[in-house]
Amino acid sequence: MSALEWLLEPWTFDFMVRALMVTLAASTVGALLSAWIIHIGWSLLGDAVSHAVLPGVVLAYIVGVPFALGALASAGLALAGIRAVSSYSRIKEDAAIGIVFSSFFALGLVLISVTPSSVDLSHILFGKLLGISDTDFVQVMVLSVLAGALLIARRRALTWFAFDPGHMASLGRSPRRESAVLLGALALVAVASLQAVGIVLVIAVLITPGAIAHLMTNRMSVALWVAPVVSVVVTTVGLYCAYYLDVAPGGAIVLTYAAAFVVAFVAGRYGPVMRRMRTRRALISEGAV
C-alpha cells in the first residue's frame, strides 16, 4: 500500500467521512469556546455541564423526542441551579458545581437503571460516532453552527469579559450578559460533542484545545486561532488511529488530545520560545532591559 492509499483509505467509507464531519464540527467550535473557558477558569463548569446532560438525554430517549432537546433542557437547569446556589447562599461556586453536577449525573444513572431496555448506556457515555443517525448528524451540525455563530458574533465582548469584567461593568456594559452567552454556547457545544465522544469524554473537547493554545501563546487573539487548528489536526489524527488500530474513535481522539497536550507542555517548558521569554522576564526583573 502506497502512502497516498494509506492516507485516503479511511475516507472511502461513508461512515468515516460522516464521523470526521461530525467531530470536526463539534470539536472546532468546542476548541474556540475552550480558549475563553481556560482563561476565565471555568474548566470545572465545563465538566459539570457535560455530565449534567445525562438525565435529559435519558428522558428524551424514554419520551421519544430528539435527545438534543432533553440534553439542552438538562444543561440549562444545571447551570441555573449552579448560579442560584452560588448567588443566594454562602456556598462557593466550585462547591455548587460539584453538588449540582453530581446530583444530575446520579439522577441520569438512576433513570438508566430503571429503563435498561430503552437506553444504551455505552452510547450515551462513550458516543456512537461511527453509527450516528441522519437525525443526530443534522442535530450536531445545527448546534455547532449556532454555537459558532454566537461565539464569533460576540468574540470581542467575550474577550473583554474574560480579561476585565470589572472595567466592562464600569463602562455600562453587562458582564452578566456575556457570561450568559458563554454559558449558552457551553451548553450547545456540550450537547453537540456528546454525539462524537460521549458524556464521559466531552470535557476533553471543551478544555484540552484551549489549554494547549494557552501553552503556546499568551495572546487571546492568537489562542482563538490556535485552539481550533489544534482541534482539526487532533481530530483527524485520532480518527486515523481509530481506523488503523481498530479502537473506539472517541477514546482515540481524546488520547490524541492528551498526547498533543504533552507535546505542547514539553515544548512550552523547554522550547526555545519559552526560554527566551523566561530570560527576558529575568532581565526585566533585574532592571537590565
pLDDT, tens only, 125-154: 666 777 777 877 888 888 889 989 999 998
Cα gap 210→128, rounded to integer Å: 25
Residue 282 has pLDDT above 60, yes or no: no
Neighbouring C-alpha atoms within 13 Å toward the C-beta of 147: 30
User: Can you list the domains of the chain with their CATH numbers?
Assistant: 3-285 (1.10.3470.10)
Backbone angles phi, psi at 27, to 5 degrees: -75, -30
**CA Rg, the chain, in Å?**
20
- Assigned C-alpha cell, 47: 465538566
Phi-psi domain of 246 (left: phi exceeds 0; alpha: psi -120 through 50; beta: other)? left
pLDDT bucket at 124, cuts 50 / 70 / 90: low
Q: Residue 194 in contact with residue 129, Cβ under 8 Å?
A: no
Cα 132–Cα 135–Cα 137 angle in degrees, nearest 5 = 50
Cα gap 140→126, rounded to integer Å: 16
Cα gap 237→209, rounded to integer Å: 14
Mean pLDDT over residues 154-167, rounded? 84
User: pLDDT of 189-240, one tens digit each?
Assistant: 888 877 666 776 787 888 899 999 988 888 888 889 999 999 999 999 999 9
- Residue 5 CB-density burial (10 A; 0-12 exposed, 13-18 middle, 19+ buried): exposed
Mean pLDDT over residues 152-180, rounded? 83
DSSP-assigned letter for residue 46: H
pTM: 0.80
DSSP-assigned letter for residue 136: H
